[in-house]
Amino acid sequence: MQSTILSIGTNAISKNENILIFFNESATELIKEHSIIQRFATNEFQTLEKGDFISFGEQQYTIEHVGKNVLEQLQELGHVTFFFGNGPKEELINAITLVEERLPEILVGMKVTYKVGV
């Protein structure tokens, strides 16, 4: 699965929080201010699990945990919340926790690749 970053909200990236929130173009204007907007190349989605990878451009991250509704949310809304390093104490059903703590550099036009079983 691969998407392209279309826009980055003015409040989407914070140096104080290791979190990024993604939606597709159907997001409201308020949500867009706090999110990264992505468009998937196809409607073919795969189930992700621990040990799979997410790449933001050439920056690869390892999946530690996948919430139970991530696939459904990606299909319907292009939505996923990425936690970098230590994720939330309680499971968030629409979140992916990544092993690495550093936030990636995010740019408009960048490809986000959701890699299964690599």
- % of the chain with per-residue pLDDT over 90: 76
Average pLDDT, the chain: 91
Q: What is the rounded average pLDDT of the residues 45-71?
A: 92
Structure tokens at 3: 């998407």
Residue 5 pairs in a beta bridge with 38
Query: Is 2.40.33.40 the CATH number for 2-115?
Result: yes
Domain boundaries, the chain: 2-115
Looking only at the bridges linking them, the beta strands covering 19-23 and 36-40 are parallel
Q: What is the mean pLDDT of residues 75-88?
A: 87
pTM for the structure as a whole = 0.92
pLDDT at 37: 98
Mean pLDDT of 62-80: 92
Residue 106 · residue 20 · CB < 8 Å: yes
The DSSP annotation for 22-54 comes to: EE-TTS-HHHHHTSEEEEESSS------TT-EE
What's residue 90's pLDDT?
Answer: 65
What confidence tier does 88 reach under pLDDT thresholds 50, 70, 90?
Answer: low
Which pLDDT band, with edges at 50, 70 and 90, does 41 fall under? confident
Residue in the structure block whose two tokens are 């929130």: 21
Torsions phi, psi of 33, nearest 5? -60, -30
6 half-sphere exposure, CB direction, 13 A CA radius: 16
Tokens 């059903």, residue?
A: 93
